[in-house]
């Protein structure tokens, strides 16, 4: 997997996140790109064998588990490759769910 492919996949993921949460502030947190609005929303990073999309909420990850079938997931993480990115519509749904979750806590 070429680094260029990962870079392009993460650039696309960034665009999708920005569309879903245009007011979110982008920062580096825990060594990755992260978005904040009423708290941490989501983040992403590249690794040797995959890219990671960090949902930052086990409850939201569980809520979308059926739609994330086919991806490697952990507590609040989705692993993907440039060859098999997370669908844009699903990323937007997850980001908007996280926005609602964060707004409910603030």
CATH number at residue 91: 3.90.1150.200
Strands 32-36 and 40-46: antiparallel
In a domain, 105, yes or no: no
Instruction: Output the pTM of the full model.
Output: 0.94
Among 72, 27, 70, CA closest to 53: 72
Spell out the residues 6+ positions from residue 40 whose beta carbon is closer than 8 angstroms to its own.
29, 34, 56, 102
Q: Count of domains in the chain?
A: 1
In a domain, 19, yes or no: yes
Which strand (E) or helix (H) includes residue 34?
strand 32-36
What domain range includes position 75?
3-95
In a domain, 100, yes or no: no
What tens digit of pLDDT does each residue of 9-50 get? 999 999 999 999 999 999 999 899 999 999 999 999 999 989
3-state class of 48 per DSSP? coil
In a domain, 72, yes or no: yes
């Amino acid at each position: 997997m070429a680094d260029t492919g990962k870079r392009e996949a993460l650039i696309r993921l960034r665009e999708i996140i920005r569309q879903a949460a245009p007011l979110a502030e982008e920062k580096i947190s825990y060594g990755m790109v992260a978005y904040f609005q009423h708290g941490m929303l989501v983040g992403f990073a590249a690794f040797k064998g995959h890219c990671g999309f960090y949902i930052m909420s086990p409850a939201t990850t569980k809520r979308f588990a059926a739609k994330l079938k086919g991806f490697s997931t952990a507590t609040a993480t989705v692993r993907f490759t440039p060859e098999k990115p997370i669908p844009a519509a699903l990323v937007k749904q997850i980001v908007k769910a996280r926005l609602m979750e964060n707004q409910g806590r603030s």
